[in-house]
Structure 1
C-alpha cells in the first residue's frame, strides 16, 4: 500500500525542478469494502530524478496516485520568488508543475474537482495565488478550501497545493 504524505517529495519537484515520470502499477484488493474481492489497479507517478525519487521512497509516498478515474496529487509546496521574479511568477512555476503531473496522469486542470491550499500567511499569499489560479482554473470551478497554517514541511514554503482530479474522459 502506498501512503500519501503531503508535500515532502513534491517540494523537491516544485522548488528544484525535478522531472517526474509514470512509475509503478500496484494491485490492491478491496474485498472488505464491498466489491467482493475484486482487484483494482492503482498506478503511481514518481519522479525520474534519482534524488527526488529516493526522497519519496524514503517517506513512502507517491507524487500522484491514479485509482479508477480519479487522480490524487500529493501536496506541492510553492516557495518564494527567485531573484528578479515576482510572487506570481514563482507560484506559476508550481502550477505548471502540477499541470505536468496531471497530464502524465491522463488529466488536466480542466478535470480538477477539488483543490486544498495551505498558507503560512494567507493574507500575504492569497492575492498572487488567486491571480495565478485564475489562469489555470476555469468555470465550472472546482471545490477549493484554503487553510492558514503555522508552517509547511519546507521552511521556505509559502503555500502547499493538494489537488484531486478526474481522468480526462475519452472523446467519443
Structure 2
C-alpha cells in the first residue's frame, strides 16, 4: 500500500497543478453513466481516471459532483500572493470542469474546503490563509453565494497541498 501511495500522491498533486492553458488545449471527454455523465477535462485526467478509478466530475440527475482540487505550494513555501495565485489556478480548474458540464459558478450550490493552516509551506498566519481564500473565492463566486463548509485539517493527501476544494453544482431546470 505504501508503494501505491508513493505513486498516487505525486500523480494527484500533478493533476491539481494542471495549467489552465493545458486544459484549454486538451481533449475533453464525457462518459455516459446510468443517470448522468463523467466529465474528464484532459488526457492527463483521463489517465488518472483509468489508473486510479476516480472522476474529476460526475453528474447524477441534476447534480454534478466535483472531486477535490488542490491549491499547492512549491517546496520552498508560498507567501500570500503566491498562495492566491495557486488558489486562482485551483478555482480555475473547477471553472473549466463546470463549463465542460455546461455550467458556471452561479450553478454551484455547495463548496467544501479543507485547509492545512499550520503548514510550513505557507509563510503566513491562519487569518492570512483564510483572507486569501475568501478573496480569491469571491473573484469566482457572486451573490447569491453557495453554501460553504471550511474545515481545518492536520494533513492533505497531496504533500504540497495547502487547501483542497470540492464543489457540488446543480443543473438548471429545463425550460418548457
What is the TM-score normalised by the length of structure 2? 0.75
Larger mean CA deviation between 70-79 and 86-95 belongs to 86-95
Q: CA deviation at 1:13?
A: 3.2
Would the aligned equivalents of 2:13 and 2:160 in 1 still touch at CA under 8 Å? no
Q: Number of aligned pairs?
A: 152
**1:53 corresponds to 2:46:** yes
Give the helix-richer structure, 1 or 2. 2
Q: CA deviation at 1:97?
A: 1.1
What is the TM-score normalised by the length of structure 1? 0.76
Quickly say closer, same or farther: Cα 1:67–1:10, change in 2 above 3 A.
farther
Q: CA deviation at 1:169?
A: 4.6
Give the strand-richer structure, 1 or 2. 1
Measure, in 2, the Cα distance between the counterparts of 1:95 and 1:10: 16
Equivalent in the alignment of 2:3: none
Task: Give the root-mean-square deviation of aligned CA atoms.
Answer: 2.7
Measure, in 2, the Cα distance between the counterparts of 1:116 and 1:165: 12
**1:86 corresponds to 2:93:** no
Quickly say closer, same or farther: Cα 1:90–1:141, change in 2 above 3 A.
same
Q: CA deviation at 1:23?
A: 2.4
